[in-house]
Amino acid sequence: MIIERNWHNISAENYNSVIALGSFDGIHLGHQKLIGEAVRLAKQLNTKPAVLTFSPHPAKILAPNKTHCLILPEEKKYQLLASMGIEMVLAIKFDAVFTQMSAQDFIEKILLNALKVKHIITGYNFHFGYAKQGNTLLLQECSDQGKFGYTQIPQVIIDDHHVSSSLIKEYLGYGAIGVVCKLLGRDYTLTGVVQQGLGKAGNTLGFPTANIWLENGYAYPARGVYLATVKHQGKEYVGIINLGKRPTFKKSARRLLLEVHLFDFNQDIYNHKLEINLKAFIRPEVHFSDIKSLREQIARDCVAARYILNNARILLK
């Protein structure tokens, strides 16, 4: 998949594409329906499926005083798009200058002149251009005029949930991993590199852990203990993870820390990259009065996780 960041540099081989427009944070089931339609239609029209998105997320520029956390890092987003069949991503730099571009200029300069787009696909509530002047009605008007084809994807509803990135973040905050995974249409995944010198607490407790600092700027699940599967060098393992700041210890973590304890595992994996798929919430993060109480609770957490494994194998499919 080609990733282009300058809309002035689009090569002729990417002209006449079917382009999905949006921010696509999370690549949830609503996004997947939109992207899937772009891939399907491109095949039907014998052209390329592409995505036009923005970097950074527009909310960071349009509402700088508000905290805006992403669900997915860009790298992971692009990996998912490639896996779905997208052949080109145009990730336009979204800055103060770009916010001044009118909706009409966006259509003329980018969609028509730079991309020579064949067909546009958006969600039902897509807006673009200065002060959100552009919307689905304007795109439909352009289509009616023969400038390009246009398809609007209606909102996706799963179990009475209107699928959206904001709703997924809300459920992450509750630790409702089952609902999050259902809205995403896949496991909720965290990745990171195991850090040196952070596992001493786990060894002291008798539950050795692989520890990963989590980057700021992302929406994470509620602090606590979860059942998880972990991929390492092509193999999958099962264990529990603690997401939090280790409040029981005198020197609590300065930022969110992911502590991974794998069952029946004894390997040196410092500096190795892990992919952690959360499966079920076990309990919230708790401050314990002493290490003995924490050790006993971790033992109970492991029992609970194994119970889930033995009685709800469907979670691991």
Question: Mean pLDDT over residues 1-22, rounded?
Answer: 95
Task: Say what the alpha-carbon torsion angle 147, 56, 241, 294 is, to the nearest 10 degrees.
Answer: -140
Q: pLDDT band at 198, cuts 50/70/90?
A: low
Q: Where are the domains of the chain?
A: 2-156, 187-316
210-247 confidence digits (pLDDT tens): 999 999 899 999 999 999 999 999 999 999 999 998 76
Q: Which residue has the higher pLDDT, 144 or 248?
A: 144
- Assign domain 2-156 to a CATH class: alpha beta
97-135 confidence digits (pLDDT tens): 999 999 999 999 999 999 999 999 999 999 999 999 999
57-112 confidence digits (pLDDT tens): 999 998 888 888 999 999 999 999 999 999 999 999 999 999 999 999 999 999 99
SS3 assignment, position 169: helix
Buried residues in 236-262 as b, exposed as e (16+ CB within 10 A): ebbbbbbbbebebeeeebeebbbbbbb
pLDDT at 309 over 90: no
Domains 2-156 and 187-316 belong to one CATH topology = no
- Assign domain 187-316 to a CATH class: mainly beta
Amino acid at 131: A
pLDDT, residue 314, reads 47
